[in-house]
């Protein structure tokens, strides 16, 4: 039950990031918002890492030297952080010409993208039943999108194409963390991602971030920016690391299919369109999502049971 609650909390926070990111366009450019978010998160991560080293009575200089002593590790984290930065910038840019609901639905393509990339890059096997679960999840998410549109047809915005490319980058990020991220603990790994992410972003933001027009004195800027930094960056990262260990990466990817449902609920409530949540298309989409979650979860249980039996036999 605790794992389920944490999964739902992670999905809700991720859904809220799409809504809050849309609000940020009124206060700052996408690049300015992204670099502020990464620099502040880097400061918090640096402090947390310093405290952990001090509690462990470790030499800070020696620990820093170990983090950067391998050029191969530096290259790997440059790629890991670069794909994550590309996703965030793509999200903010896309929201200038699309809606939070569109981006939340396209986001649900990432698990399927991740499965395909891992199959090609990491040579991981994926059963057809498991892939079917991810496909059904995507169809269910799309059904939610169709059902909550004000018009009768689905319109494809320019921002949707941008965000689709950003989703590919995030799928690459997830797979690259799986491939290379085990060499460091969660806290040092997060620090490296934030550090190199800031390095990627800072020169780009200085050149094209329109920093002179950031509404620093606006209360709305600080409320939205601090929420994005602490809740949808730092907290979701910590929850993600915990969930991967506690319930497995596949369940984490599967629960992301509920994100468009949360965004649709927020949109319906904020726009006083609760009737959009009661139509047949929305309810059918939710049922497909539940079926997809059950199908993926069943395959995980079967695989865990087989692994346990093999271990016992040995």
Contacts 24+ apart (CB under 8 A), 56-60: none
pLDDT of residue 301: 55
Q: Half-sphere exposure of 302 toward its Cβ, with a 13 Å CA cutoff? A: 9
Q: What would the 3-class secondary structure string for 104-149 be?
A: HHHHCCHHHHHHHHHHHHCCCCCCHHHHHHHHHHHHHHHHHHHHCC
Domain range summary for the chain, segments of one domain joined by +: 2-309
pLDDT of residue 120: 86
| pLDDT at residue 244 is higher than 60 | yes
| pLDDT at residue 124 is higher than 90 | no
pTM of the predicted model, to two decimals?
0.79
271 class by beta-carbon count within 10 Å (0-12 exposed, 13-18 middle, 19+ buried): exposed
The tokens for 302 are 């079967």
pLDDT of residue 154: 61
Q: Which residue has the tokens 């059918």?
A: 284
The tokens for 140 are 């269910």
Highest mean pLDDT out of 150-164, 218-232, 274-288: 218-232
Average pLDDT of every residue of the chain: 82
| pLDDT at residue 168 is higher than 90 | yes
pLDDT of residue 24: 87
What stretches of the chain show up as alpha helix (H) in DSSP? 2-24, 30-55, 60-68, 71-94, 100-107, 110-121, 128-147, 158-180, 186-208, 219-229, 236-246, 249-255, 259-270, 280-313
Phi, psi of 215, deg, nearest 5: -85, 70
pLDDT of residue 314: 43
For the chain, percent of residues with pLDDT exceeding 70: 89
For the chain, percent of residues with pLDDT exceeding 90: 20
More confident residue, 89 or 74: 74
């Amino acid at each position: 039950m605790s794992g389920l609650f944490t999964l739902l909390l992670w999905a809700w926070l991720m859904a809220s990031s799409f809504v809050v990111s849309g609000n940020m366009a009124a206060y700052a450019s996408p690049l300015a918002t992204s670099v502020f978010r990464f620099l502040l998160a880097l400061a918090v991560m640096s402090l947390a890492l310093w405290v952990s080293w001090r509690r462990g009575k470790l030499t800070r200089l020696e620990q820093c030297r170990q983090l950067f002593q391998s050029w191969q590790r530096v290259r790997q984290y440059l790629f890991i952080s670069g794909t994550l930065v590309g996703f965030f910038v793509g999200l903010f840019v896309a929201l200038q010409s699309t809606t939070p609901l569109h981006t939340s639905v396209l986001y649900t393509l990432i698990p399927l993208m991740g499965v395909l990339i891992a199959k090609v890059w990491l040579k991981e096997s994926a059963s057809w039943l498991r892939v079917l679960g991810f496909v059904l999840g995507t169809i269910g998410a799309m059904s939610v999108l169709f059902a909550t549109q004000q018009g009768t047809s689905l319109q494809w915005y320019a921002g949707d194409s941008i965000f689709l490319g950003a989703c590919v980058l995030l799928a690459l990020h997830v797979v690259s963390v799986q491939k290379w991220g085990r060499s460091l603990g969660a806290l040092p790994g997060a620090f490296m991602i934030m550090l190199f992410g800031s390095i990627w972003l800072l020169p780009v933001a200085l050149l094209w971030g329109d920093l002179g027009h950031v509404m620093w004195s606006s209360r709305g800027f600080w409320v939205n920016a601090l929420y994005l930094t602490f809740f949808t960056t730092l907290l979701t990262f910590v929850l993600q690391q915990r969930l991967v260990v506690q319930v497995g990466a596949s369940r984490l990817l599967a629960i992301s299919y509920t994100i468009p449902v949360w965004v649709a609920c927020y949109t319906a409530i904020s726009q006083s369109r609760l009737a959009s949540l009661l139509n047949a298309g929305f309810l059918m989409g939710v049922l497909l999502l539940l079926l997809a979650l059950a199908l993926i979860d069943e395959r995980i249980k079967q695989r865990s049971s087989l692994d346990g039996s093999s271990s016992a036999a040995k």
